[in-house]
Structure 1
Amino acid sequence: MASSVSASLCSSFKGGWGTTTMGEEQLMLARSVSARVAVSTGRAVRPQPMMKNVNEGKGLFAPIVVVTRDIIGKKRFNQLRGKAIALHSQVITEFCKSIGADAKQRQGLIRLAKKNGERLGFLA
């Protein structure tokens, strides 16, 4: 009875969320390893998150950022991005000094700049 119920609840969908970034073989291997670990330890194992850029393709400037990264290469692009972020943080720091804002307010402004950069697509 239990097998007929579980068989009737199975989906005809054969793919998975991970199949877009992982091949079927790697996905099945990852599932079998995590299942063995869960059985041997007696507790559930949370799957590792897949590393990918969640900002890819989002925001007004994302297409420009992606094309620029593809043209100049990832290493050089990340160096330039790091310099730009450092310069922007310095500008925020100088602004906070000029208006008398404390370190907590400065950190809040830097976080806000990061959120805005994500929304606009600069971190794509």
Structure 2
Amino acid sequence: MTAYPPILLVEDNPVDVDLTLRAFKRRKLANEVLVARDGEEALAWIPRWEAGEALPTVILLDLNMPRVDGLSVLRVLKTHPRLRSVPVVILTTSKEDRDVSTAYDLGANSYIVKPVEFDKFMEVAQQIELYWCVFNEMPRV
């Protein structure tokens, strides 16, 4: 276990999971990246966090997933007493105004449309790392 809190990536597309992990690895990210492959797997982390496992420094959440969609996951996270302060960054392909508005209404901390090109995705990964893992101050729990 590292001294840095993990990042939880909630993403059902294996290509996007691989791209994200490669981008963070290339950046030499100190935080462990945990992967939930759909919304149901993401919600399965809640009992572990309730039992005292380290909360993620940020949750990167896709919207369009099978079983439980990202907005439903966001709704649960942002109404949970212990988890509502964990930053959630929507990282999705959807540019729909309805999705953006709903995500922010439910408490999303940021909304990023996934870039298609690897170099652009690397820039996004760098900004996520710098802001959410280095500069952002989280409350002590």
Q: TM-score, normalised by structure 1?
A: 0.27
Q: Which structure carries more helix by proportion?
A: 1
Larger radius of gyration: 1
Q: Which structure carries more strand by proportion?
A: 2
